[in-house]
Amino acid sequence: MNISTAESVVMEVLWRKHPRSAEEIVAELHDEQPWQEATIKTLLNRLLKKRAIAAKKNGRHYLYSPLIERTSYLFVQSSGLIDRLFNGRVAPLVAHFSEHRKLSKKDVEELKRLIHEMEHER
């Protein structure tokens, strides 16, 4: 499923808490994004057409909920990125960030911890 960057912003709101009305989504995004209410409703309609979210009538309003899990979406997106740019290998991705963005000490410690955990699981 191809979700645009703008659509993913709306999805993040729904992943944090759902179901939510369009008005609740607009209110939450008000400080984050300079979008008009109509823009957010357009994004909701696109997500409905893609079957990324569902809408359930509740009185005069619709309540929106995600149909895809955030973890599944992240896995597909990150796997696609690694496949396209780094031939499916994670090490060149980490090397790239290390060279160009200078991984912080905290990032390096987290990577070491993850590697240590993976070694002990095998």
For the stretch 27-72, pLDDT in tens is 999 988 989 999 999 999 999 999 999 999 999 999 999 999 999 9
DSSP 20-65: EEHHHHHHHHTTT----HHHHHHHHHHHHHTTSEEEEEETTEEEEE
Which domains does the chain possess?
A: 5-66 (1.10.10.10), 70-121 (1.10.4040)
The Cα–Cα gap between 13 and 23 comes to 12
* Number of helical H runs and strand E runs in the chain: 6, 3
Q: How confident is the model at residue 121 (pLDDT cuts 50, 70, 90)?
A: confident
The pTM of this model reads 0.81
